[in-house]
Structure 1
Amino acid sequence: MAKGLEFDHVIVPFVDVSNYKTDIDRSLLYIACTRAMHALTLTFHGEQSSFISNIGA
């Protein structure tokens, strides 16, 4: 059981290099992604953040 809230589907918009640059951004992105129980949708425009470049589809 998680300490925070969980949701069936989490959508995180604008996960691109201009919005996610710092370690704090990486931590917040991790928290958002780990709140998804069944589905996770990440969107980006242009170049995706390096924080998600190694995630398998």
Structure 2
Amino acid sequence: MEFDEVIVARASAREYGAEADRSLLYIACTRALHRLTLTHSGRPSPHLPGDETTVEP
């Protein structure tokens, strides 16, 4: 399944910090065709890039 836009809420280290969570976050992020939005409170998941980036197609 793919979607035009995907929003992953609470992509924090608390929610997606374990190694087992890496594949869940990967699946959620790769479903977006055009726009991916990630939100987090506190530290972002360690499975995400370290710097804040905005990528537009």
Give the TM bin, normalised by the shorter chain: 0.7 to 0.9
CA root-mean-square deviation: 1.5
Evaluate the alpha carbon distance shift between residue 24 and residue 55 of structure 1 in structure 2; reply closer, same or farther with a 3 A threshold: farther
40 and 54 in structure 1: CA distance in 2 versus 1, 3 angstrom threshold: same
Unaligned stretches of 5+ in structure 1?
A: none
Aligned length: 53
Q: Identity rate of aligned residues, in percent?
A: 49
Distance between the aligned counterparts of 1:14 and 1:56, measured in 2? 16
Gaps of 5+ in 2: none
> Which contiguous aligned blocks of 4+ residues in structure 1 show a shift greater than 6 angstroms?
none
The one-letter code sitting in structure 2 at the alignment partner of 1:53 is P
**TM, length-normalised to structure 2:** 0.81
